[in-house]
Amino acid sequence: MPETPQPIEVRKVPLLNVSDASGLAQLIDDGILDADRVVAVIGKTEGNGGVNDYTRILADRAFREVLVAKGSRPMDEVKQIPIVWSGGTDGIISPHATIFATVPAESAPKSDEPRLSVGFAMSEKILPEDIGRVKMIETVAAGVKVAMERAGITDPADVHYVQTKTPLLTIDTIRDAKSRGKKVWTEHTHESMDLSNATTALGIAVALGEIEMPTDEQVMEDLSLFSAVASCSSGVELDQAQIVVVGNVRGIGGRYRIGHSVMKDALDQDGIWEAIKAAGLELPDRPHHTDLDGRLVNVFLKCEADPSGGVRGRRNAMLDDSDVHWHRQIKSAVGGVTAAVTGDPAVFVSVAAVHQGPSGGGPVSAIVDMGA
Protein backbone atom coordinates (compact mmCIF):
# COMPACT_ATOMS: atom_id res chain seq x y z
CA MET A 1 0.00 0.00 0.00
CA PRO A 2 1.23 3.53 -0.72
CA GLU A 3 2.20 5.74 2.18
CA THR A 4 -0.18 8.47 3.30
CA PRO A 5 1.21 11.69 1.80
CA GLN A 6 0.98 15.13 3.39
CA PRO A 7 0.05 18.41 1.71
CA ILE A 8 2.93 20.32 0.16
CA GLU A 9 4.01 23.95 0.31
CA VAL A 10 6.37 24.92 -2.52
CA ARG A 11 8.18 28.22 -2.96
CA LYS A 12 10.85 29.60 -5.30
CA VAL A 13 13.62 31.80 -3.89
CA PRO A 14 16.54 33.61 -5.54
CA LEU A 15 20.20 32.85 -4.85
CA LEU A 16 21.81 36.23 -4.28
CA ASN A 17 25.30 34.75 -4.51
CA VAL A 18 26.88 31.37 -5.00
CA SER A 19 26.49 30.29 -1.36
CA ASP A 20 23.34 32.20 -0.47
CA ALA A 21 20.52 30.47 1.40
CA SER A 22 18.89 33.61 2.80
CA GLY A 23 15.70 32.96 0.83
CA LEU A 24 15.25 29.63 2.59
CA ALA A 25 16.06 31.19 5.96
CA GLN A 26 13.49 33.94 5.38
CA LEU A 27 10.73 31.47 4.52
CA ILE A 28 11.44 29.63 7.79
CA ASP A 29 11.67 32.83 9.86
CA ASP A 30 8.36 34.04 8.39
CA GLY A 31 6.65 30.77 9.33
CA ILE A 32 5.86 29.84 5.75
CA LEU A 33 7.99 26.69 5.94
CA ASP A 34 9.11 24.54 8.87
CA ALA A 35 12.80 23.62 8.60
CA ASP A 36 12.04 20.11 9.84
CA ARG A 37 9.41 19.62 7.13
CA VAL A 38 11.56 20.47 4.11
CA VAL A 39 11.63 17.33 1.97
CA ALA A 40 13.42 18.43 -1.22
CA VAL A 41 15.16 21.33 -2.93
CA ILE A 42 15.73 21.69 -6.68
CA GLY A 43 17.82 24.59 -7.90
CA LYS A 44 20.13 26.25 -10.41
CA THR A 45 23.62 27.44 -9.52
CA GLU A 46 25.84 29.79 -11.46
CA GLY A 47 28.87 27.63 -12.18
CA ASN A 48 30.01 26.19 -15.48
CA GLY A 49 27.63 23.24 -15.36
CA GLY A 50 30.51 20.87 -15.99
CA VAL A 51 32.33 18.12 -14.16
CA ASN A 52 34.23 20.63 -12.01
CA ASP A 53 31.26 22.85 -11.15
CA TYR A 54 31.77 23.20 -7.41
CA THR A 55 29.08 25.87 -7.07
CA ARG A 56 26.72 22.95 -6.57
CA ILE A 57 28.65 21.88 -3.48
CA LEU A 58 28.73 25.43 -2.10
CA ALA A 59 24.98 25.87 -2.52
CA ASP A 60 24.28 22.43 -1.11
CA ARG A 61 26.30 23.18 2.02
CA ALA A 62 24.62 26.56 2.53
CA PHE A 63 21.09 25.14 2.33
CA ARG A 64 21.81 22.19 4.59
CA GLU A 65 23.43 24.44 7.20
CA VAL A 66 20.29 26.59 7.33
CA LEU A 67 18.11 23.51 7.79
CA VAL A 68 20.30 22.39 10.69
CA ALA A 69 20.51 25.83 12.29
CA LYS A 70 16.77 26.53 12.09
CA GLY A 71 15.45 23.03 12.74
CA SER A 72 15.92 20.14 15.13
CA ARG A 73 17.35 17.59 12.71
CA PRO A 74 21.08 16.82 13.00
CA MET A 75 23.31 17.16 9.93
CA ASP A 76 23.44 13.38 9.43
CA GLU A 77 19.68 13.41 8.96
CA VAL A 78 19.63 16.60 6.90
CA LYS A 79 22.19 15.05 4.56
CA GLN A 80 19.55 12.51 3.54
CA ILE A 81 17.27 15.22 2.12
CA PRO A 82 17.50 15.28 -1.67
CA ILE A 83 18.88 18.66 -2.68
CA VAL A 84 19.43 18.59 -6.43
CA TRP A 85 21.51 21.35 -7.97
CA SER A 86 21.85 21.84 -11.71
CA GLY A 87 24.90 23.93 -12.52
CA GLY A 88 25.01 26.58 -15.21
CA THR A 89 22.81 29.66 -15.50
CA ASP A 90 23.90 30.58 -19.01
CA GLY A 91 22.38 33.63 -20.67
CA ILE A 92 19.63 35.23 -18.61
CA ILE A 93 18.76 32.18 -16.48
CA SER A 94 18.83 33.38 -12.87
CA PRO A 95 20.19 31.30 -9.96
CA HIS A 96 17.34 30.12 -7.74
CA ALA A 97 15.94 27.24 -5.73
CA THR A 98 12.50 25.64 -5.51
CA ILE A 99 11.83 24.34 -2.01
CA PHE A 100 9.29 21.63 -1.16
CA ALA A 101 8.02 21.13 2.39
CA THR A 102 5.14 19.27 3.96
CA VAL A 103 2.53 21.14 5.97
CA PRO A 104 0.08 19.82 8.60
CA ALA A 105 -3.10 18.56 6.95
CA GLU A 106 -5.24 20.76 9.15
CA SER A 107 -3.50 23.92 7.94
CA ALA A 108 -3.77 23.18 4.21
CA PRO A 109 -6.72 24.13 1.98
CA LYS A 110 -9.08 21.17 1.63
CA SER A 111 -9.72 19.79 -1.85
CA ASP A 112 -10.78 16.55 -3.50
CA GLU A 113 -9.07 17.68 -6.70
CA PRO A 114 -5.55 16.45 -7.58
CA ARG A 115 -2.95 18.32 -5.55
CA LEU A 116 0.83 18.26 -5.40
CA SER A 117 2.58 15.39 -3.67
CA VAL A 118 6.31 14.70 -3.40
CA GLY A 119 8.20 11.51 -2.68
CA PHE A 120 11.92 10.95 -2.51
CA ALA A 121 14.35 8.08 -2.44
CA MET A 122 18.07 7.40 -2.42
CA SER A 123 19.03 4.45 -4.61
CA GLU A 124 21.57 1.79 -3.93
CA LYS A 125 25.16 2.75 -4.69
CA ILE A 126 25.92 3.11 -8.40
CA LEU A 127 29.36 1.84 -9.37
CA PRO A 128 31.31 3.62 -12.11
CA GLU A 129 31.18 0.59 -14.37
CA ASP A 130 27.36 0.52 -14.11
CA ILE A 131 26.91 4.01 -15.60
CA GLY A 132 25.52 3.58 -19.11
CA ARG A 133 24.41 0.00 -18.55
CA VAL A 134 21.27 -1.95 -17.63
CA LYS A 135 22.39 -2.38 -14.03
CA MET A 136 22.06 1.39 -13.47
CA ILE A 137 18.69 1.45 -15.26
CA GLU A 138 17.41 -1.24 -12.88
CA THR A 139 18.80 0.59 -9.83
CA VAL A 140 17.13 3.87 -10.79
CA ALA A 141 13.82 2.19 -11.65
CA ALA A 142 13.71 0.57 -8.21
CA GLY A 143 14.35 3.94 -6.56
CA VAL A 144 11.60 5.65 -8.57
CA LYS A 145 9.07 3.09 -7.37
CA VAL A 146 10.05 3.74 -3.74
CA ALA A 147 9.68 7.49 -4.26
CA MET A 148 6.27 7.00 -5.89
CA GLU A 149 5.09 4.98 -2.91
CA ARG A 150 6.27 7.67 -0.51
CA ALA A 151 4.34 10.24 -2.54
CA GLY A 152 1.19 8.12 -2.30
CA ILE A 153 1.07 7.70 -6.07
CA THR A 154 -0.17 4.37 -7.45
CA ASP A 155 -0.87 5.32 -11.07
CA PRO A 156 2.22 6.30 -13.12
CA ALA A 157 -0.04 8.70 -15.08
CA ASP A 158 -0.16 10.86 -11.95
CA VAL A 159 3.63 11.37 -12.05
CA HIS A 160 4.47 14.60 -13.85
CA TYR A 161 8.09 15.26 -12.91
CA VAL A 162 11.00 13.12 -11.78
CA GLN A 163 14.14 15.02 -10.85
CA THR A 164 17.28 13.04 -10.21
CA LYS A 165 20.92 13.57 -9.40
CA THR A 166 23.33 10.75 -10.18
CA PRO A 167 27.10 10.25 -10.23
CA LEU A 168 29.15 10.85 -13.33
CA LEU A 169 32.60 9.51 -14.11
CA THR A 170 35.73 11.21 -12.85
CA ILE A 171 39.39 10.32 -13.21
CA ASP A 172 39.31 8.83 -9.70
CA THR A 173 36.22 6.68 -10.26
CA ILE A 174 37.51 5.49 -13.62
CA ARG A 175 40.76 4.50 -11.93
CA ASP A 176 38.78 2.72 -9.21
CA ALA A 177 36.83 0.66 -11.77
CA LYS A 178 40.01 -0.31 -13.58
CA SER A 179 41.67 -1.35 -10.31
CA ARG A 180 38.86 -3.88 -9.86
CA GLY A 181 39.19 -5.17 -13.42
CA LYS A 182 36.06 -3.41 -14.65
CA LYS A 183 35.54 -1.42 -17.85
CA VAL A 184 33.71 1.91 -17.94
CA TRP A 185 31.43 3.04 -20.79
CA THR A 186 33.58 6.09 -21.56
CA GLU A 187 36.77 7.64 -20.22
CA HIS A 188 35.67 11.14 -21.24
CA THR A 189 34.39 12.65 -18.02
CA HIS A 190 32.33 15.40 -19.65
CA GLU A 191 30.65 12.89 -21.95
CA SER A 192 29.79 10.85 -18.87
CA MET A 193 27.45 13.65 -17.76
CA ASP A 194 25.23 13.03 -20.79
CA LEU A 195 25.63 9.29 -20.28
CA SER A 196 24.61 9.30 -16.63
CA ASN A 197 21.59 11.49 -17.33
CA ALA A 198 20.50 9.33 -20.26
CA THR A 199 20.82 6.06 -18.36
CA THR A 200 18.88 7.50 -15.45
CA ALA A 201 16.10 8.69 -17.77
CA LEU A 202 15.71 5.18 -19.14
CA GLY A 203 15.36 3.91 -15.55
CA ILE A 204 12.59 6.44 -14.95
CA ALA A 205 10.85 5.46 -18.19
CA VAL A 206 11.00 1.77 -17.24
CA ALA A 207 9.61 2.44 -13.75
CA LEU A 208 6.68 4.44 -15.16
CA GLY A 209 5.89 1.96 -17.93
CA GLU A 210 6.80 4.38 -20.71
CA ILE A 211 9.17 1.83 -22.27
CA GLU A 212 10.24 -1.79 -21.85
CA MET A 213 13.63 -2.55 -20.36
CA PRO A 214 16.22 -1.55 -22.98
CA THR A 215 19.49 -3.27 -23.73
CA ASP A 216 22.98 -1.92 -23.08
CA GLU A 217 23.29 -1.28 -26.81
CA GLN A 218 20.27 1.06 -26.86
CA VAL A 219 21.66 3.48 -24.27
CA MET A 220 22.57 6.77 -26.00
CA GLU A 221 21.74 5.17 -29.36
CA ASP A 222 18.01 4.48 -29.69
CA LEU A 223 16.65 8.01 -29.38
CA SER A 224 13.07 6.81 -29.84
CA LEU A 225 13.24 5.69 -26.21
CA PHE A 226 12.53 8.48 -23.75
CA SER A 227 10.63 9.58 -20.68
CA ALA A 228 8.30 12.56 -20.94
CA VAL A 229 8.73 13.45 -17.25
CA ALA A 230 12.42 12.77 -16.56
CA SER A 231 14.77 15.60 -15.63
CA CYS A 232 18.16 14.13 -14.89
CA SER A 233 21.25 15.85 -13.58
CA SER A 234 24.62 14.44 -12.58
CA GLY A 235 27.63 15.54 -10.60
CA VAL A 236 30.69 14.62 -8.59
CA GLU A 237 29.11 15.03 -5.17
CA LEU A 238 27.37 11.65 -4.76
CA ASP A 239 27.64 7.93 -5.59
CA GLN A 240 23.95 7.03 -5.71
CA ALA A 241 20.80 8.36 -7.31
CA GLN A 242 18.86 11.07 -5.51
CA ILE A 243 15.30 10.75 -6.78
CA VAL A 244 12.45 13.23 -6.34
CA VAL A 245 9.06 12.19 -7.73
CA VAL A 246 6.47 14.95 -8.06
CA GLY A 247 2.89 14.23 -9.00
CA ASN A 248 -0.72 14.75 -8.04
CA VAL A 249 -2.82 12.90 -5.48
CA ARG A 250 -6.52 13.38 -4.82
CA GLY A 251 -7.74 14.20 -1.33
CA ILE A 252 -4.55 15.39 0.34
CA GLY A 253 -5.39 19.07 -0.10
CA GLY A 254 -3.03 21.97 -0.52
CA ARG A 255 -2.69 24.85 -2.96
CA TYR A 256 -0.49 23.39 -5.68
CA ARG A 257 -0.81 21.17 -8.72
CA ILE A 258 1.63 19.95 -11.39
CA GLY A 259 1.33 19.08 -15.07
CA HIS A 260 3.69 18.21 -17.89
CA SER A 261 4.21 18.21 -21.63
CA VAL A 262 7.21 18.16 -23.98
CA MET A 263 9.00 20.70 -26.13
CA LYS A 264 9.34 19.22 -29.59
CA ASP A 265 12.30 21.47 -30.36
CA ALA A 266 14.20 24.40 -28.86
CA LEU A 267 11.62 26.96 -30.02
CA ASP A 268 8.50 25.11 -28.94
CA GLN A 269 6.85 27.67 -26.66
CA ASP A 270 3.56 25.81 -27.07
CA GLY A 271 5.07 22.85 -25.23
CA ILE A 272 5.72 25.08 -22.21
CA TRP A 273 2.23 26.54 -22.29
CA GLU A 274 0.74 23.05 -22.60
CA ALA A 275 2.51 21.99 -19.40
CA ILE A 276 1.15 25.03 -17.56
CA LYS A 277 -2.36 24.33 -18.82
CA ALA A 278 -2.00 20.65 -17.90
CA ALA A 279 -1.23 21.75 -14.35
CA GLY A 280 -4.69 23.28 -14.16
CA LEU A 281 -4.51 26.94 -15.15
CA GLU A 282 -7.14 28.18 -17.58
CA LEU A 283 -5.46 30.37 -20.17
CA PRO A 284 -6.53 32.06 -23.42
CA ASP A 285 -5.79 30.48 -26.79
CA ARG A 286 -2.80 32.77 -27.30
CA PRO A 287 -1.51 33.28 -23.75
CA HIS A 288 0.93 35.94 -22.55
CA HIS A 289 3.03 35.85 -19.40
CA THR A 290 0.74 38.48 -17.85
CA ASP A 291 -2.07 35.92 -17.96
CA LEU A 292 -0.22 33.86 -15.34
CA ASP A 293 -1.04 36.46 -12.67
CA GLY A 294 1.59 35.17 -10.25
CA ARG A 295 0.12 31.66 -10.16
CA LEU A 296 3.07 29.88 -11.80
CA VAL A 297 5.55 28.68 -9.17
CA ASN A 298 8.15 27.39 -11.60
CA VAL A 299 8.78 25.39 -14.74
CA PHE A 300 11.36 22.62 -15.04
CA LEU A 301 12.85 21.78 -18.45
CA LYS A 302 15.54 19.65 -20.05
CA CYS A 303 17.04 20.61 -23.39
CA GLU A 304 19.36 19.15 -25.98
CA ALA A 305 21.06 20.34 -29.14
CA ASP A 306 19.30 18.56 -31.99
CA PRO A 307 21.73 15.94 -33.33
CA SER A 308 20.70 16.97 -36.85
CA GLY A 309 22.52 20.28 -36.32
CA GLY A 310 19.45 22.37 -37.04
CA VAL A 311 16.19 23.75 -35.73
CA ARG A 312 13.10 23.92 -37.97
CA GLY A 313 15.08 23.45 -41.13
CA ARG A 314 17.72 26.05 -40.31
CA ARG A 315 21.23 24.89 -39.51
CA ASN A 316 23.23 26.15 -36.54
CA ALA A 317 26.86 25.74 -35.52
CA MET A 318 26.49 24.60 -31.91
CA LEU A 319 27.78 21.09 -32.43
CA ASP A 320 30.80 22.33 -34.40
CA ASP A 321 31.78 25.12 -32.01
CA SER A 322 35.17 24.45 -30.40
CA ASP A 323 35.09 27.63 -28.31
CA VAL A 324 31.82 27.28 -26.39
CA HIS A 325 30.42 23.80 -25.71
CA TRP A 326 26.93 23.20 -27.07
CA HIS A 327 25.71 22.45 -23.53
CA ARG A 328 26.01 26.11 -22.70
CA GLN A 329 24.61 27.38 -25.98
CA ILE A 330 21.41 25.33 -26.01
CA LYS A 331 20.81 25.97 -22.31
CA SER A 332 21.08 29.70 -22.91
CA ALA A 333 18.80 29.57 -25.95
CA VAL A 334 16.07 27.50 -24.30
CA GLY A 335 16.41 29.56 -21.12
CA GLY A 336 15.58 32.67 -23.15
CA VAL A 337 12.62 31.00 -24.83
CA THR A 338 11.31 29.81 -21.45
CA ALA A 339 11.74 33.17 -19.72
CA ALA A 340 9.87 34.81 -22.58
CA VAL A 341 6.93 32.52 -21.82
CA THR A 342 6.98 32.87 -18.04
CA GLY A 343 8.14 36.49 -17.79
CA ASP A 344 10.67 35.36 -15.16
CA PRO A 345 14.35 34.45 -15.80
CA ALA A 346 14.41 32.23 -12.68
CA VAL A 347 13.50 29.08 -14.59
CA PHE A 348 14.93 25.60 -14.18
CA VAL A 349 16.51 24.76 -17.54
CA SER A 350 18.99 21.93 -17.59
CA VAL A 351 20.98 20.36 -20.42
CA ALA A 352 22.10 16.86 -21.46
CA ALA A 353 18.64 15.53 -22.25
CA VAL A 354 19.25 12.30 -24.16
CA HIS A 355 16.28 9.96 -23.50
CA GLN A 356 14.49 12.89 -21.79
CA GLY A 357 11.74 14.01 -24.12
CA PRO A 358 11.96 13.75 -27.91
CA SER A 359 15.35 14.15 -29.56
CA GLY A 360 16.17 17.84 -29.99
CA GLY A 361 13.45 18.80 -27.53
CA GLY A 362 12.79 17.92 -23.92
CA PRO A 363 10.25 17.43 -21.13
CA VAL A 364 8.53 20.36 -19.40
CA SER A 365 6.86 20.27 -15.99
CA ALA A 366 4.98 23.17 -14.42
CA ILE A 367 3.82 23.75 -10.86
CA VAL A 368 0.98 26.20 -10.34
CA ASP A 369 -0.80 27.71 -7.34
CA MET A 370 -4.50 26.81 -7.51
CA GLY A 371 -5.32 29.05 -4.54
CA ALA A 372 -7.33 28.25 -1.45
* 30 contacts: CB under 8 Å, gap ≥ 6: none
Q: Are 297 and 368 in contact (CB under 8 A)?
A: yes
Q: Choose the catalytic residue: 233, 234, 332, 365.
A: 233
Tell me how crowded residue 325 is: count the other CB atoms within 10 A of its CB: 18
Tell me how crowded residue 312 is: count the other CB atoms within 10 A of its CB: 10
Q: Is position 110 annotated as part of the catalytic site?
A: no
Query: Can you say whether the dihedral through the CA atoms of 353, 323, 85, 330 is positive or negative?
Result: negative
Q: Is position 12 annotated as part of the catalytic site?
A: no
Q: What is the rounded CA–CA span in Å between residue 233 and residue 86?
A: 6
Provide the b/e sequence for 245-255 (b: ≥16 CB within 10 Å). bbbbbeebbbb
Q: What is the rounded CA–CA span in Å between residue 363 and residue 52?
A: 26
Q: Choose the catalytic residue: 44, 165, 302, 331.
A: 165
Q: From edge to edge, which strands make up the β-sheet containing 8-14? A: 8-14, 96-102, 38-45, 83-87
Element of type H or E holding 194: helix 189-207
Tell me the DSSP string of 304-363.
---TTSEETTEE--GGG-SSS-HHHHHHHHHHHHHHHHHS-S--EEE---TTBSSTTSEE
* 207 contacts: CB under 8 Å, gap ≥ 6: 140, 141, 142, 144, 145, 148, 156
Q: What is the rounded CA–CA span in Å between residue 111 and residue 251?
A: 6
Q: What is the rounded CA–CA span in Å between residue 121 and residue 240?
A: 10
Element of type H or E holding 127: none
- Catalytic positions are 165, 233
